Amino acid sequence: MGAVPRRPRPRGVPRPRRSAGARRACGSAVVTYVPPDQDARTTIAERLDQTLFVEAGAGSGKSTALVGRVLELVATG
């Protein structure tokens, strides 16, 4: 499989710009992202013997965290 050929950009259509802080990855550098709510995520994943209430905004990862919790509960009986 080769690269997908690019179509020419129509005149008058601006190029997408990256934000000032966005940079391309260079070399073999690995960036580790730790979410600001990592303590809460750890609690959801590890405290399986407790009932928890999870409240967070849309797109924050609630469903992913809770599905992981349910899978762990099923796996450990």
Angle, CA of 68, 72 and 77, to the nearest 5°: 150
* pLDDT of amino acid 26: 62
* pLDDT of amino acid 35: 87
For residues 69 and 44, is the Cβ–Cβ distance under 8 A?
yes
Residue spans per domain, the chain: 38-76
Angle between helices 38-46 and 62-76 in degrees, nearest 10: 30
Q: pTM of the entire structure?
A: 0.54
**Where is 46: in which H helix or E strand?**
helix 38-46
**Low pLDDT (below 50) residues in the chain:** none
